Structure 1
Amino acid sequence: MYGLILDSMADCIKKMYGDKIWHSIVGSNDISNTFTTHKVYDEQLIPMIANSTEELTGVPVNLIMEEAGKHFIVYIDNIRNDRIIKVLGRTFRDFLNGLDCMHEFYRFSFADIHPPSFHISKEDVNGLELHYRSRRTFTGFMYYVKGLIRAIAEKFYSVDVAIHITQHGFTGDVMLAVYRLDYPNDLHIVFQNLVTEKRQFRLNRKLIFPSKLFFEQFPFHVVFDERLQILTTGHGLNIICHGLNGKRLNETFFMTRPLGYDLTWDNVLIHRNNVFELTSVKSTARINKNASQRFDRSLTHFIKLRGQMLYVEEWDFVIFLATFVMDDLDKMYEMGVYVNDLTFHDLSRDMVLHGLQQTTEYKLALDLEQGKNSRLEEIIQTLENEQQVTDNLLYSMIPKEIASSLRKGNTSVSLCEKYEDVTVLFSDVVNFAHICHHIEPHEIMKTLNKMVKVFDILCKTFNTYKVETVADGFMCISGAPTYDENHTKVMADMAIEMLTGIKTVLVPKSRESIKIRIGLHCGGVVAGLVGHKIPRYCLFGDTVNIASKLEAAGKAERIQISQCCKDKLVTYGNYVIQEKDDVGIKGSRSIKTYWLNGKALILQ
């Protein structure tokens, strides 16, 4: 799968569903954000992208692929790569008959392309049937082709065509589909009349063309009958492959185009408008001239012929008007084929002599382009990595939801929000000033770092948000900015784990565990960003003050909770709660408080 298809599909998704959906697809599938047009990628990327788009948007895969097919025409028009489509046929009917030729053109730019195969049947004045075959097994490509053909009909031929898939399935590893194309096809009658007139003209004038003269013009032709028995071959083919006369065509050659069909008489007649490509079953003799002017032979090369199947009604034979396909002069010499074996009239000689030079120049230019694209991909990847580092730093300062709103242009004032029910936790280190008096400054920083690291891990585990860390003080919240109906339970569980986790943090000289005290309270708060240069996410309200007071009035290795916290935790039934004295708030007011002593084991 070339990056051209992937890049056009990415462009389609961005335009139809937005950059946010595309970035979600990239993140969920761990794929590249950009694609190089001439680079080969995994075949499974298209199904992966289509299925992810369906999950995120709810749009069926078939419609997504059809829209992607339509958009491909817009995409190649934007990059000026639509020239072959513009000149492929004078009419829409001619275009469909020459659809295989389009992929032959793209082979010069995309050497490893695996093109599908098309042919027409059941043509009438109301439309025709188009048969599609491909080795790609993702059924979404059937709808991709449907959108592609409709877009070409509208853009280049101003034809309004209705397309229906009448049959689809698999033959071995080849996917096939039959499309019914309904559109005004009056040119079908014109073409049939023209064929009849030409035939009648030949009969009336008794035009006779000697077969010998005709065959000399095609040195690599093959004539065969209904049983596929080879009757005669061109002199050029005889030089490199002797003794073909009398053999069956399907025993000496296998058909690589049209794709997915057996080499039979009926298939040859049905696909006369298609390009045929035959490859010899057995390799031919390699000829190397040694010092004694003798030839040694080793079977290494295969003959490849490409051309048109011409049915001669008067003989009831088919002539394969083929040209010898070779892209390497060394192989050509080794097979014993020379330039003078090729014909003048079909420019075979020019294609060999000039084509190789142009191919070399094109390959060099393509290598340079791919080198630039690879460097660009590296730069983009580095930029994305740096962007990720920046995002992680930003999300450590303010919540991800708030950061996303700021990027959309919202002001910090507009992001101020009231939360009716959350749980706030405060903690600090007991006798922190005494500990600092007996250890070095760098040891203080080291100890605090270990403590905060433990708390950060717990915040991530319980999906709570750390509001701030000031010296030995720690504050976090559950229920905001992301709502959680079990916020009190989550905060209580985290507080219990904090008492366990802090035991791993030791005072440097005494080697005793750090002791902390914790306060919990639930209620309403107002949250928002404060500051412009270095904005901080802050909480305000009575709930914050009470939680801070409960922590300050607490004891080492104890969790002090308020009445409202206790009422919520009781509903869960597995918390050990101990009643204690009231705690005074602001001198004149006091509230009922409790010790949270952990969780009880519940036996089933």
Structure 2
Amino acid sequence: MEAILKLFGEYFFKFCKKSGYDQMLRTLGGNLMEFLENLDALHSYLALSYQEMNAPSFRVEKGKDGEMLLHYYSDRSGLCHIVPGIIETVAKDFFDTEVTMDILDLNEEVERTGKKEHAVFLITQKSHRQMRSANPIRLQDCEDIQRDHKVLTFLRMKEKYLRISVCPGKKSHWDTVRNIIMFGKGHLSYAFKPVYPETLWMEVKTFCTAFPFHIVFDEALRVKQAGVNIQKYVPGLQIQKIQLDEYFSIIHPQVTFNIASICKFINSQFVLKTRNKVMPEAWKNQPTLKLRGQMIWMESLQCMIFMCSPKLRSLQELEEYKMHLSDIAPHDTTRDLILLNQQRLAEMELSNQLERKKEELRVLSSHLAIEKKKTETLLYAMLPEHVANQLKEGKKVAAGEFETCTILFSDVVTFTNICASCEPIQIVNMLNSMFSKFDRLTGVHEVYKVETIGDSYMVVGGVPVPVRSHAERVANFALGMRISAKEVMNPVTGEPIQIRIGIHTGPVLAGIVGDKMPRYCLFGDTVNTASRMESHGLPNKVHLSSTSYRALENQGFEIIERGEIEVKGKGKMTTYFLIRNLNATEDELMGRCKIPFDHKGKPQRDNVQVQKS
């Protein structure tokens, strides 16, 4: 598990780099020590954007020969093994340094907020450049010697630390560790040496005004000095010798409010919050003031100075505290932070608004697509698809001539008498039931419904898409209509209605008529002849003209000759009755089987599945 957590630490660092934090991480420090010292400051900055973030705390102490002690504090136990993966990868990637980390001690400490896991890592580093410049053979020997020396040193150090750390009477848990490691004071590697004046050339009043948010307190936490504006917003600080912990609590790092705990995290950023109970009664409804800054120990005075600024993120928070930008010193970058963060918040709000609008547009687009689909479905039900598409594009649809097609008309026998004996709603229900069944059959046999007028139903095969099997398709459709009509009851007699069907085959001209409510209409003598076949037919019979008979002859249909009859406007004509399809069952004609009809209008019976009606 430790190895897995370490690998996760390596991956997490690479993930942070890819997520845009690369430049921010590189600017934390010029070496690993400075990087570790500023980790807490980075977490404080990120907390501005991620308020729920519960980040660990780090404290680093420097020893001789480049060794360091890294203290890790976290509310979540068991995750300390992620740290070596992160730190070792940071050292290698940013500082070209190979680092090894060993846990010197792991325990739980009771702090102000409860138990916190406290891990102490011993960090040993060696430059990669030195390793590359060494002789390979001597390098191996040197590495073996250094490894043995390191193991021996580490074991002795850990043994000594564990033995001494349990001794009674020790004031600080880590004073012993510092004595063991023999920390050096270090020195600058540059030629530059600062020069300090013998006297501080600055008046007390000027200092308190130039740094309006600062507090000086001694080891007993008694306030010795405070900036002018911190006195303004925390009036109790004007009283001499008050206890700082009576007016403030430490929010970050989460430690006990005493000098020893503060010194542990002297390199960390501190956040103090005013205690609401000590504020004036009129101020208790306001948000509690938070101060963020740096603790600096002044050895000669045995006092601590807290150089701070109000922890504010936006102009809104500034107004909530009833403060103004003028309350913050001009040199304090908190001013810029508030304005920049305000701009960032405004950009985020704008981005959120754009996201909301984008989501609204997506929903509207989805609804529009659904409505468009409904409109197209309705349009395609009224017009052929290719004709409808041309109309949508604003094109004129030219009339087309079809050399041969088959047209069918049907109507209800004694429909006039039925209308005279029934309520209108009964007629509507009867026609709706019948036409719905017929509409379904047009999809089964792939014929085109032209129109309905009253009780008359008109379809065509071979138009608008020419097919050779137009006569067979219309014939199968007619047989299906006759079967369907038996399922519709006459509202007067309660018996199945009777229909007449007439079919004729011949040439037509087809096109769009009108601008409002355009319809796809058929023109020519073929239409008239088909209508005559229907009007001169017999109840429940499919009446065929001679041209339709010739188109269906030898196609698997049973047809009988009616003989020569007088047809209005046509004279004498020899006509026929279509009896049945010799190759199709009733279920197939009704589309109750999942069986397609071939290009000749004949059923293909491979893998037939009967549908449940």
TM-score by length of 1: 0.47
TM-score by length of 2: 0.46
